[in-house]
Each structure stands twice: as structure tokens, then as C-alpha cells.
Amino acid sequence: MYSENQKSKTKTFHKWFTRKNKREKAHDQLNEISDDSEDEVDILDDVYVHSLETDPCISTNELRIFVGTWNVAGRSPVGSLAVDLDEWLNLKDAADMYVLGFQEIVPLKTRNVIGAEDPTEATNWNLLIGKTLNDKYGCPWLTPMTDPISSYHYHYDKISDSERRTSVSGHSGIQQLRTEDENLYGGSKYKLMASKKMVGVFISVWMKKELLSKYYVSNVKVSSVACGIMGYLGNKGSVSVSMSIEGTSFCFIAAHLASGEKKGDECRRNHQVTEIFRRTSFPRSSEDDCNPQPLTILGHDRIFWFGDLNYRLYLEDNLARYLIKKQDWKALQEFDQLRRELENGGVFQGWREGNIEFAPTYKYSTSNCNRYSGGLPSRSGEKQRTPAWCDRILWYGKGIEQLSYFRSESKFSDHRPVSALFSIPVEVKKPTNPRIFPLQTILPTIKPPRKREPGNNNEETKSTLSSLMAKDLIEASPTNML
């Protein structure tokens, strides 16, 4: 009895398999085979092969980052400045992140350079930036409360694990910037991620709060390098922020380099750039996550260097003003010190800067004035300065696309603020393979093996085989062949 049933089953299966091969040959001749027409047995093999894949899936998202720099000439932020800040930040086209670098947020007097750091001006600027970013969207900006310690580092508070896992590296004496209760009124749209002040150089990094739930942001660190008077005072130098967003590491460097337009002053600036590269470090700590993090500037994937870099023009003052009057920016750039250094490899080898299509940003006569300092005839007591593009934004790394590069027209100081908008790819890792599913999900007609009565073995085998054959007959029908 068993032998006859086995022969019958084998014969039936042989006929079905022969017809299946003929139909596949016909499909090959008609070039109508597609992945979606595979039968369940083929899908089973596909699942088995892909279940062996263990590498994480990586997708790429685009992040829009606004980078800005502004030398504010030692002036404190005031209420009327909010209008200028709004225009500079270009909030009509809001970015995902705002990275802002300032120079001379305090006057560069001896007591400020060699005295103890005072966080007052940094807090005032952060208050104004936060209010400008968040009030624009009708979100309440609650007054930050600072710890009563004399620190000048700022980092954002970790959000809870229920919102998103976040690892933040800390430093001793960190001052946290907090709101009274962000959930009380729905919270702010942008959150302060990191901030650092060194004398007059200041950096402030903000991120859309919704992205903290979307991305894994980790290892936020700050560093400062003083390379001013005697090579070690903070009237000149840099403050930097290092952070990782998912699988991509970022470094932002806000700098203020040596001034002067005499021959050889550009060499002093080049030396300070070298010192900042050499001395900027982001040591690992016990609070870091398990992923290795960059220790130096050039160890990061995407790097932005911006600030009052103070590079001038190799050009006589009257010729420079003549080209400015003609708005011949291309001709003027031929004499730009920084552009020449980039081309000759003297500094920033392999770095990029967008095309400059705006007037030089320094030096204007006074605040609330739209006239360059000096010139003929010069006014009494006014410094003679050849206009130059002192305020610049450079970048380094693959996949960075600059969307805009422009200056704003605030008359708050003798510099005009400069900004750039970037589109940057961010690698997002997915730890699981979405193609691996339980077999019963893909093949609902095939049940897991279980103990069966001897008499039911043939019936259940025939039932499973019949379901495959019935499905195959439907697919092989003339209507499905057309």
C-alpha cells in the first residue's frame, strides 16, 4: 500500500515539475520573467540565502547645515539686534542645524585676555540666538537657567531614553543650559547642542529637536586653542566642537587669526592654522559610546572651518576700491591671500571654499555705517584699511554640497556677517535585516514540522503538494501568460 502511494505521488510530482520547466522556458522566450513571478519554493530558497547575511543595512539621509561667522567688534547683543540676526540666519529657508561662530564678543582688552573667563556675554548671545530661532516658529522660548559656577562650556542635557539614546561626552566644570520646563508649552523647536567661549572667540551649535528623536547623536565635545600673544594667549585662536550623527563624525572650528595687512602677516596666519590643527584634540572619556571617535580635526568625516581668518588682498588700496566699485569680484579674487594659499598648498591643502560673489566684509568705518574705513579723502582719526574678505567659510570631506554662500548687511559692527548653507549626507545604520522574516509569514501554507499520526502522513503531504500545484495551474493559465 505504501509503495503504490509513493509511486503515485512521485509520478504526480514528476508531471507537475515537467510542466513547470516548460512554462519557465516559454517565459524565457517571451522575456516576461520578473522577480514577482517566483513561486513559493523559489522564495524559500531566497529567504535561506539572505538569512545568512549579517551586515547591517546602511541608508543615507540628507542634513541641511547652516554655518555662519561674525566679528561683532566687542559689542553686546541688544534687543534691536534680533532683526539683524533674523536676516543673517535666513530663517525663511530653515536649516536642520545652525553652527554659529563669533569673534570679539568681548573687547580684546588686557583684562579680558589674561583675566578669568566670564560667561555672561556667551549666555546673552545664546539667549538671543535661541529666541530668534524659536520665536520665528511661534514656540515659546523659556529663559535658560545656568548653574552658579564659573564655567564657560555649555552642552545640551541628554534627552530621555524613551525619546532617543544619546551619549554626550562631558568635561569637569561643565555648565548646562536648561529650560524651566520644555514640555509645559510644547517645547522649543531648536535645542542648544554645544557652546564654547575663549576670550572673544565663541561657537554655538543648535539642532532641530525633532532630529534628536530621529538620529543617534553622540560624543559631543569641545576644544580650544589659544595662539595669540606669545603664541598662547586667547586674543587669537579657535574653539571647536566635535560630534557624531549616526555613523558620520563632524568637526566645527570657529577661529580668529592674526590681523595685519603688512607683507608677511599672512605667514603668521598660516602658522596659527598649523598650530590649531596640531593642538586641537578631543580626548576619549568613560562617557563615550563603544564606537571609536576622532581625536583630531582631520580624523572627522565632515569638517568646517570658519571665522575672521583675516587674510587680506595683495593689492593697493585705490585699485581694490576701484574693483569693488565695479563689483568685479572675479578680478578681485585674483589678489586674495587665502585663495592664493589654497591654490599653492601653503595652508588648508585639499580644502574647499565656495565662489565669492559679494563685497569684502571688512573694514567698515563705524557701526551703523555702510562706508569702508579710510580711502581718499580719509576722515580724521579713521584707520586706513584696504577692504578685504576677512570672514570666510571653508570645508573638507566627501559628499558636502554648498547650496549658498553670502553676506548679510547688518551694520552692527565693522564686519559684515557671512554664512553658507550645506547639504550633507549622513549614514544611518539599521541593525536588523528587514528581508529576514519567519517562514510562516512568507509561506503561510507550509507549517512547521510536528508529530503526526502514521495514517495522516500521506494525506498532509498530498494537501501541501496540491496547494503548490493548484497555485501553479493558476499562474500557468492563458490569462496569466498574456
What local confidence, expressed as pLDDT, does residue 419 receive?
A: 97
pLDDT at 468 over 80: no
* Domain presence at residue 81: yes
Give 283 or 93, the one with higher predicted confidence.
283
What whole-number percentage of the chain has pLDDT above 90?
53
pLDDT at site 78: 83
Q: Is residue 435 part of a domain?
A: no
pLDDT-derived band at 22 (thresholds 50, 70, 90) equals: low
The pLDDT value given to residue 427 = 80
Tell me the average pLDDT across 180-197: 70
Amino acid in position 198: M
Distances from the Cα of 431 to the Cαs of 43, 56, 57, 340, in angstroms?
Answer: 23, 5, 7, 46
Alpha-carbon distances, residue 370 vs 23, 259, 413, 414, 419 (angstroms): 81, 22, 10, 9, 19
Distance CA 86, CA 199 (A): 25
Report the phi/psi class of residue 281: left, alpha or beta, with left for phi > 0 and alpha for psi in -120 to 50: beta
pLDDT of residue 367: 66
For the stretch 305-364, pLDDT in tens is: 999 999 999 999 999 999 999 999 999 999 999 999 999 888 999 999 999 999 999 999
Q: What local confidence, expressed as pLDDT, does residue 141 receive? A: 42
Q: Does residue 378 carry a pLDDT above 80?
A: no
Domain membership of residue 1 (yes or no) is: no
Q: Which residue has the higher pLDDT, 153 or 311?
A: 311
For residue 53, pLDDT over 90 is answered with: no
Domain total in the chain? 1
The lowest-confidence range among 28-32, 177-181, 315-319, 478-482 is: 177-181
According to the 3-state scheme, what is the secondary structure of the chain?
A: CHHHHHHHHHHHHHHHHHHHHHHHHHHHHHCCCCHHHCCHHHHHHHHHHHCCCCCCEEEEEEEEEEEEEEECCCCCCCCCHHHHHHHHHCHHHCCCEEEEEEECCCCCCHHHHHCCCCCHHHHHHHHHHHHHHHHCCCCCCCCCEECCCCCCEEECCCCCCCCCCCECCCCCCCEEEECCCCCCCCCCCEEEEEEEEECCEEEEEEEEHHHHHHCCEEEEEEEEEECCHHHCCCCCEEEEEEEEECCEEEEEEEEECCCCCCCCHHHHHHHHHHHHHHHCCCCCCCCCCCCCCCCCHHHCCEEEEEEECCCCECCCHHHHHHHHHHCCHHHHHCCEHHHHHHHHCCCCCCCECCCCCCCCCECECCCCCCCECCCCCCCCCCCCCCCECCEEEEEECCCCEEEEEEECCCCCCCCCCEEEEEEEEEEEEECCCCCCCCHHHHCCCCCCCCCCCHHHHHHHHHHHHHHHHHHHHHHCCHHHHC
Q: What is the pLDDT at residue 291? A: 76
Which CATH number do you get for residue 417?
A: 3.60.10.10
**Which pLDDT does position 52 carry in this prediction?**
37
If you average pLDDT over every residue of the chain, what do you get? 77
**Is residue 9 domain-resident?**
no
Mean pLDDT of 93-112: 95
For residue 159, give the C-alpha cell.
Answer: 534627552
| pLDDT number for residue 398 | 93
Higher pLDDT, 265 or 460: 265
pLDDT at residue number 149? 26
Residue 190 pLDDT greater than 60, yes or no: yes
Average pLDDT over residues 373-391: 82
Mean pLDDT of 397-404: 96
Give me the pLDDT at residue 20, please. Answer: 54
pTM of the model: 0.72
Whether 25 is in a domain gets the answer: no
Q: Render pLDDT for 228-277 as a digit per residue (tens, 0 to 9).
A: 999 999 999 999 999 999 989 999 999 999 999 999 999 999 999 999 99
Domain membership of residue 131 (yes or no) is yes
Residue 164 lies in a domain: no
Q: Is residue 99 part of a domain?
A: yes
The yes-or-no verdict on residue 377 having pLDDT over 70 is: no
Q: Residue 429 has what pLDDT?
A: 73
Which pLDDT score is estimated for 470? Answer: 55
Write down the pLDDT at residue 80.
Answer: 77
Q: Average the pLDDT over 15-26 and give the result.
A: 56
With bands split at pLDDT 50, 70 and 90, how would you rate the model's confidence at 401? very high
Percentage of residues of the chain with pLDDT beyond 70: 65
What confidence tier does 157 reach under pLDDT thresholds 50, 70, 90? very low
Q: Check residues 307 and 167 and name the one with the higher pLDDT.
A: 307
Q: How confident is the model at residue 281 (pLDDT cuts 50, 70, 90)?
A: very high
pLDDT at residue 222 is higher than 90: yes
| Residues 6-17, mean pLDDT to the nearest whole number | 58
Which residue segment(s) compose the domain that 103 sits in? 58-135+187-372+383-429
Work out the average pLDDT over 115-136: 92
